[in-house]
Amino acid sequence: MNLAFKLNTGYSIPLVGFGTYQIRGSELIYETLDYALNAGYRHIDTAVVYGNEHHIGNALKKLLPKYNLKREDIFITSKLISQVNKGERFVEELVLKSLSNLQTEYIDLYLIHWPGVSGLQVSHPDNIKYRKCTWNVLTKLHREGKCRSIGVSNYTVKHIRELLADCNGVRPAVNQVEWHPRCFQLELLELCRSEGIFLQAYSSLGTSNYTELRQDPVVTDIAARLNRSPAQVLLRWGLQRNVGVLPKGSSKGHIDENIALDFVIPPEDMKSLDHLKETSGAKFAWNPDTVV
């Protein structure tokens, strides 16, 4: 299963993507992307801070011909984080370096990774200035065709509204945020939908080192009754809310499992999963709520 959603830029993004966070090294990247392409993934998600763009570029150069694929058959996302005292030239150089590392003339989607500056400085007085600076550069590169779609990540309702009020003529296509039954914001989802912004989830399964979400009794009970894995239930929950998902995996078994989502969670079970936020809410990744 790899259905797609049409972005406000006219390009289609696969609903199920392959996340590469913490997957590093040329051999491991090649092996996991080989598994992913074979399984049917056509969206690869990376970021400057992941430190693997160049390995992905090298791997795709070999793997696309292997699977009789062209560059246009693959959707690539990358992201950058603004840094203190670094202006538009720095941002543009980062994007151009991503293009070089990935060995491509364009990136399908480029995101502002974090609404604050590097070091997760939530109260930095110039966060607004750096957000604006970075967005201005991305809009320029979008108009030049180097970034076919641009968007944001970890943006809250406040940050989205600020951007929409002054977006340099290009509205964000995507907002990528932590999203799972223990952590979701309906106000953010409704705002994004009303403004034509596609919401995409990361940490749908918790984190690599935190298995409590996958072991939640509600999740495991539903998984057992549907004859599916807890991971599949958590990913399918997102899809049934029309949210994109980006599972990652390093084993062929997990990579194959995470894209096999052609089933339906019954309405009552969806309600039970929704209720987890009230009974056992938890956030596993960085929290942008307090970013100025």
Q: Residue ranges of the alpha helices (H) in the chain?
A: 26-39, 53-66, 88-102, 127-143, 157-165, 186-194, 217-226, 230-240, 252-259, 267-274, 276-280
The first and second tokens of residue 230, run together, are 């807890």
The first and second tokens of residue 151, run together, are 């968007």
3-class state of residue 209 by DSSP: coil
Q: What does DSSP assign to residue 212?
A: T
Per the annotation, the verdict on 50 as an active-site residue is yes
Q: Which of 50, 110, 130, 155 is catalytic?
A: 50
Helix (H) or strand (E) holding 151: strand 147-153
The first and second tokens of residue 140, run together, are 């320029």
290 C-beta neighbours (distance < 10 Å), count: 9
How many Å apart are CA 181 and CA 164, to the nearest integer?
28
- Could you give the residue numbers annotated as active site? 50
